[in-house]
């Protein structure tokens, strides 16, 4: 099969990759992929609360890209793990928090393809000193159950978040070097799986969506942006196919779009597109919806999760998708002029496991989450 989105076969070694015509002359075309996702994922209409009259919303269900591998990260791993396997690696090292969807998907997929998973963790709560302190909920539980090796760093208050992430990436490289000197073949994956190969994966999803009527049915795409590989892949694919849509990237924690543009620039360079287009022309950064940051939620965000779920049955998570959803409906109400048209595609990037362990207080106080009658109270 030519492309991950054309095959129903799950992992069974690497398969040769045929890029779409509009991408085949780029530099750094992936040679192979491994099939990990349940794809193509569907696109359907969606009517969440808060969409003003005149707008229509569709939803791309990347939350259905798998069960344990659910979300946007599995697409990146299809190319990254193919690269690791081609290089004969036996070990994969990446970075995340205990809540990280990327770290969880990497660890689970590593076991599927036969690699030993190591995750460098930034402990946002500064609460882990020994293995028993690690949560038994959500993504952390799944990582523990597949036997992930954690290397834990407490969050420091004497350096910025970005600097600490850079420092940990440096430590990852040192650790990889040590393991190599012991005879291991090590593959390192940066935060969020966001390098040029990761962006390629999302160009491939763009191609999948073209086959699902993307250009006929939509004018704008809204997607969450953390390490921004997902948004960069979509933005470059949109450019290469004639810029028919406008790509909006809702920040999950960054307050300056410089990092988004820098990552786009790097991907464009690696693909041989330097000088053809300015990164600023490819994507609209949306930065007013970060709330209290990645690891904390506002009451409005937690309420929105219940409102969307109880009215549409689509799962929202507190760290990622609820922010991108609020960004989309917020801009529709406050800044309708930033949209190219009125037909908007929301990319649901997954994140379901983060719900488990975070929602107790909100669930206790929302009436729709407390609908119960004891059988003894029913009228005879
Ligand atoms: C559920 C979810 N949505 C969106 C994102 C952001 O994707 P990216 O890091 O490619 O910007 C992440 C990243 O961790 C995620 O886990």
Please tell me whether residues 203 and 344 are part of one structural domain: yes
| Omega of the bond leading into 40 within 30 degrees of 0 (cis) | yes
Q: How many angstroms separate the CA atoms of 375 and 380, rounded?
A: 10
- The string of pLDDT tens digits covering residues 269-322 is 999 999 999 999 999 999 999 999 888 899 999 999 999 999 999 999 999 999
- Note whether residue 371 is domain-resident: no
- Residue ranges making up the domain that contains 282: 37-72+195-364
Q: What are phi and psi of 32, to 5 degrees?
A: -140, 165
- Note whether residue 12 is domain-resident: no
pLDDT interval class at 19 (50, 70, 90): very high
Please tell me whether residues 188 and 207 are part of one structural domain: no
- Note whether residue 374 is domain-resident: no
Average pLDDT, the chain: 95
Please tell me whether residues 213 and 358 are part of one structural domain: yes
Structure-block tokens of residue 135: 């949560």
Q: What number does the ligand 1 atom closest to the CA of 351 have?
A: 1
Please tell me whether residues 214 and 347 are part of one structural domain: yes
How far does residue 225's CA lie from ligand 1's centre (Å)? 6
Give the list of residues 6+ apart from residue 238 with CB closer than 8 angstroms, or none: 206, 221, 244, 245, 247, 282
Max mean pLDDT range (157-171, 218-232, 366-380): 218-232
Decide if pLDDT at 110 tops 60: yes
pLDDT interval class at 5 (50, 70, 90): low
Cα-Cα-Cα-Cα dihedral of 233, 84, 120, 204, to 10°? 20
As for ligand 1, residues whose beta carbon falls within 6 Å of it are 71-72, 101-102, 192, 194, 224-231, 320-321, 349-351
Residue with tokens 């090796």: 149
List the beta strands (DSSP E) in 172-313: 186-188, 220-225, 246-251, 284-286
pLDDT (0 to 100) of residue 2: 63
Name the residue with the closest Cα to ligand 1, atom 1: 351
Q: How many domains does the chain have?
A: 2
How far does residue 226's CA lie from ligand 1's centre (Å)? 5
Q: How many angstroms separate the CA atoms of 189 and 172, rounded?
A: 10
- Where is pLDDT greater, at 190 or 10? 190
Look at residue 71 and give its three-state secondary structure.
coil
Name the residue with the closest Cα to ligand 1, atom 16: 101
pLDDT (0 to 100) of residue 359: 86
Please tell me whether residues 200 and 182 are part of one structural domain: no
How far does residue 224's CA lie from ligand 1's centre (Å)? 6
Please tell me whether residues 117 and 200 are part of one structural domain: no
pLDDT (0 to 100) of residue 1: 46
- The string of pLDDT tens digits covering residues 64-101 is 999 999 999 999 999 999 999 999 999 999 999 999 99
**Could you tell which of 69, 102, 289, 323 is best to mutate to test the pocket of ligand 1, judged by most ligand atoms within 8 Å of the CB?**
102
Decide if pLDDT at 17 tops 80: yes
pLDDT (0 to 100) of residue 314: 98
- Note whether residue 340 is domain-resident: yes
Decide if pLDDT at 8 tops 70: no
pLDDT (0 to 100) of residue 9: 57
Are residues 95 and 119 in contact, defined by beta-carbon separation less than 8 angstroms? yes
pTM of structure:
0.96
Look at residue 249 and give its three-state secondary structure.
strand
Q: How many CA atoms lie within 13 A of 297 on its CB side?
A: 23
Q: How many angstroms separate the CA atoms of 364 and 137, rounded?
A: 19
Q: What number does the ligand 1 atom closest to the CA of 354 have?
A: 1
pLDDT interval class at 6 (50, 70, 90): low
Look at residue 285 and give its three-state secondary structure.
strand
Catalytic sites, residue numbers = 100
What is the DSSP annotation of 108-123? Answer: HHHHHHT-EEEEEEEE
DSSP state of 281: G
User: Checking phi first, is residue 242 left (phi over 0); if not, alpha (psi -120 to 50) or beta?
Assistant: left
pLDDT (0 to 100) of residue 358: 80
* CATH code for the domain in which residue 287 is found: 3.40.50.1100
- HEC states along 86-155? HCCCCEEEEEECCCCHHHHHHHHHHHHHCCEEEEEEEECCCCCCCHHHCCCCHHHHHHHHCCCEEEEEEC
Please tell me whether residues 334 and 238 are part of one structural domain: yes
pLDDT (0 to 100) of residue 357: 78
Residue with tokens 């991408």: 23
- The string of pLDDT tens digits covering residues 157-206 is 999 888 999 999 999 999 999 999 999 999 999 999 999 999 999 999 99
Q: What are phi and psi of 298, to 5 degrees?
A: -85, 160
Give the list of residues 6+ apart from residue 219 with CB closer than 8 angstroms, or none: 245, 246, 339, 340, 341, 342, 343, 344
Please tell me whether residues 278 and 344 are part of one structural domain: yes
- Name which of 240, 284, 234, 238 is nearest 60 in CA terms: 234
Residue with tokens 């053809």: 276
Q: What number does the ligand 1 atom closest to the CA of 252 have?
A: 6
Residue with tokens 């696109």: 43
How far does residue 376's CA lie from ligand 1's centre (Å)? 46
pLDDT (0 to 100) of residue 88: 97
Please tell me whether residues 241 and 287 are part of one structural domain: yes
Decide if pLDDT at 27 tops 80: yes
Share of the chain above pLDDT 70, in %: 98
């Amino acid at each position: 099969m030519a492309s991950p989105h054309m095959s129903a076969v799950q992992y069974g070694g690497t398969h040769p990759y045929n890029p779409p015509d509009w991408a085949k002359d780029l530099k750094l075309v992936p040679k192979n992929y491994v099939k990990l996702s349940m794809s193509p994922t569907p696109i359907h209409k969606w009517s969440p609360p808060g969409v003003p009259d005149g707008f229509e919303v569709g939803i791309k269900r990347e939350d259905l890209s798998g069960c344990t591998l659910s979300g946007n990260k599995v697409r990146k791993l299809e190319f990254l793990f193919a690269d690791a396997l081609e290089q004969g690696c036996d070990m994969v090292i990446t970075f995340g928090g205990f809540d990280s969807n990327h770290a969880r998907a990497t660890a689970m997929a590593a076991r599927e393809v036969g690699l030993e998973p190591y995750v460098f963790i930034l402990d946002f709560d500064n609460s882990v000193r020994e293995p028993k302190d690690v949560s038994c909920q959500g993504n952390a539980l799944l990582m523990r159950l597949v036997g992930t090796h954690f290397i834990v760093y407490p969050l420091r208050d004497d350096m910025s978040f970005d600097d600490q992430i850079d420092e940990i990436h440096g430590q990852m490289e040192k650790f990889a070097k040590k393991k190599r000197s012991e005879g291991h073949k090590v593959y390192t994956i940066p935060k969020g799986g966001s390098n040029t190969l990761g962006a390629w994966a999302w160009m491939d999803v763009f191609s999948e969506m073209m086959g699902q009527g993307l250009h006929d049915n939509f004018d704008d795409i809204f997607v969450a942006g953390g390490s921004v590989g997902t948004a960069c892949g979509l933005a470059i694919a949109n450019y290469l196919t004639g810029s028919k849509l406008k790509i909006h990237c809702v920040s999950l924690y960054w307050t300056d779009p410089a990092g988004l543009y820098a990552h786009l620039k790097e991907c464009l360079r690696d693909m041989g597109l330097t000088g053809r287009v300015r990164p600023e022309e490819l994507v609209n950064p949306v930065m007013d919806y970060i709330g209290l940051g990645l690891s904390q939620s506002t009451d409005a965000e937690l309420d929105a999760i219940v409102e969307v779920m109880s009215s549409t049955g689509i799962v929202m998570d507190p760290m990622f998708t609820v922010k991108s959803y609020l960004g989309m409906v917020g801009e529709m109400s406050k800044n309708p002029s930033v949209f190219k048209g009125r037909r908007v595609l929301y990319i649901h990037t997954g994140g379901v496991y983060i719900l488990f362990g975070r929602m107790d207080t909100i669930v206790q106080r929302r009436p729709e989450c407390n609908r119960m009658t004891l059988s003894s109270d029913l009228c005879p």
